[in-house]
Amino acid sequence: MNRVLSRYFLNIALAAVAFSLLSACGGGNEDGADSTAERTVSVTLATAALQEVQVELHSIGRLVSKNTPLLAAEISARVVAVLVDEGQPVQYDQVLILLDTTTFELARREAEAAIEQIKASIANEERRVARYQDLKTKNMMSQERLDDAEAKLAVDRASMLAARARLANAEDRLSKAELISPVNGVVERRHVSVGDYVQVGNPMVTVTDTNDLRAELPFPETVGHQLVIGQPIVLESPIAPGLLIDASIDQIRPQIGAMSRALVVIAEVKNPGKWKPEATVESTVIVERRSDAVVVPMISIVRRPAGEVVYVLDDPAQLTVRERLVVTGERQNGSIEIRSGLQAGETVVADGAHYLSEGARVVVRESQP
């Protein structure tokens, strides 16, 4: 009997639970439909505006020295002093290495002595020729002796030219005993030490010019048609953050890399003070400027299955929106260019656009400029 009563009350309880669930489900559907029909989305608005848009290409390359001279010996001599070391900054016309000048100093003195000797001989021959010419006018001197004296004077004068040439050669060699930096830069490598005997042409110092630099910037071959010599370019290096340098494209290497399929753009630039060769450089090339582009905030663009859309305020009184398919262009400073599908002056949804659909009602929190 107890089992029968227990089963009876269990069935009643299960029926009551089932009835409650059915009632709850039915009421939920009805309330959900009503709330969906009347739901509004809180948004901000923005106006499509006309603005100048720059079409830009970006690349990361490296800075290289425009000049990296390998300074070699111009005379054969022994190294007597090395005045710089690797990594040391040097200035234009600074002495880097000294060579032994003993031999060339003796040659200079010998040439100077020969010049003095020939000067004396020339002076004596000039007096003799003058005396012989006077005697010849009085028929007291033969023409042959006068000719011999004039020939001797010509030989002395030729010897003077040769002696002066030897002196100039000795002085030139003496000047080349000092190795001079031809640029402002840094010693990249020192090839000799004190005591080394160098021959003409032996390398002694490699100097890297740190003033005249060039940026080498790879760009994919697909944008090659957009790059031309003379285009403005903005350069920035992480070695000096925040320092922007305006330059222009000076060269475009015609050969595309076999492995990277990239061409190299070269921009020459003066070192602003903190840049260094082989440092990374970032570039922005301005390939086009459009002064009358239509722009909206980037958050106004929503990607739907049909493509990129914006939501335009359709009825300001009812605050409903319409979905508009657009074609976008350049992005800059939080804005995006609309190439087609929207006119300047139209009002679009900014923040909250992702929660909208065709015909949705909105409530405006604020408007963006």
Burial class (CB in 10 A: 0-12, 13-18, 19+), 261: exposed
Q: Predicted confidence band at 172 (pLDDT cuts at 50, 70, 90)?
A: very high
- The mean per-residue pLDDT over the stretch 222-226 comes to 88
Q: What is the pLDDT at residue 20? A: 46
Task: Report the distance separating Cα 14 and Cα 72, nearest Å.
Answer: 105
Each residue of 294-353: pLDDT tens digit? 999 999 999 999 999 999 998 777 788 999 999 999 888 889 999 999 999 999 999 999
- Kindly list the distances between the CA atom of residue 311 and the CA atoms of 182, 345, 353, 360, in Å, as whole numbers in the listed order: 65, 14, 7, 9
Q: What is the pLDDT at residue 258? A: 67
Can you tell me which residue has the tokens 């003379």?
A: 230
Task: Report the distance separating Cα 347 and Cα 350, nearest Å.
Answer: 9
CA dihedral (25, 27, 28, 31) in degrees, to 10, reads 160
Q: What is the pLDDT at residue 38? A: 55
Q: Is 116 helix (H, G, I), strand (E, B) or coil?
A: helix
Distance of CA 93 to the CA centre of its chain: 27
Q: What is the pLDDT at residue 247? A: 94
The long-range contacts involving 118-121, CB below 8 angstroms and separated by at least 24 positions, are: 118/156, 118/159, 118/160, 118/163, 119/160, 121/156, 121/159
Asked if residues 282 and 237 have their Cβ atoms less than 8 Å apart, the reply is yes
Each residue of 38-58: pLDDT tens digit? 578 899 999 999 988 888 899
Strand partners, 285: 57, 233
Domains of the chain: 39-53+291-368 (2.40.420.20), 57-66+210-290 (2.40.30.170), 101-176 (1.10.287)
Distance of CA 209 to the CA centre of its chain: 15
Q: At a CB cut-off of 8 Å and minimum separation 6, what does 355 contact?
A: 41
What is the DSSP code string of 121-138?
Answer: HHHHHHHHHHHHHHHHHT
Q: Is the pLDDT of residue 12 over 70?
A: no
- The mean per-residue pLDDT over the stretch 60-74 comes to 93
pTM of full prediction above 0.85: no
What is the DSSP code string of 128-178?
Answer: HHHHHHHHHHTT-S-HHHHHHHHHHHHHHHHHHHHHHHHHHHHHHHHHTTE
Q: What is the pLDDT at residue 10? A: 46
Q: What is the pLDDT at residue 7? A: 53
Q: What is the pLDDT at residue 196? A: 95
Each residue of 93-118: pLDDT tens digit? 999 999 999 999 999 999 999 999 99
Q: Predicted confidence band at 257 (pLDDT cuts at 50, 70, 90)?
A: low
